């Protein structure tokens, strides 16, 4: 269950972080009314979110490699 939650949040952060990075750097002008377009700080926030998402995905993958606990 924890693995699934980490994967869902990880994928969401990677997608949102990528969008924020592209919008903030001015490479993506969608949607036109977005306040993030061309704003450098949003590119930085996007990179942080993207990195956090990759860490969550790495943790989810790592948790599946652990042997089950002994009882």
Domain ranges across the chain? 2-64
Q: How confident is the model at residue 71 (pLDDT cuts 50, 70, 90)?
A: confident
Q: Give pLDDT tens digits for 25-51.
A: 999 999 999 999 999 999 999 999 999
Counted residue by residue, the chain has a size of 71
Q: How confident is the model at residue 58 (pLDDT cuts 50, 70, 90)?
A: very high
In percent, the amount of the chain with pLDDT more than 70 equals 94
> pTM of this prediction?
0.85
């Amino acid at each position: 269950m924890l693995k699934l939650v980490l994967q869902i949040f990880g994928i969401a952060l990677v997608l949102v972080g990528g969008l924020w990075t592209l919008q903030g750097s001015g490479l993506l002008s969608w949607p036109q009314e977005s306040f993030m377009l061309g704003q450098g700080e949003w590119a930085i926030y996007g990179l942080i979110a993207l990195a956090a998402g990759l860490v969550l995905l790495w943790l989810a993958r790592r948790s599946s490699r652990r042997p089950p606990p002994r009882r």
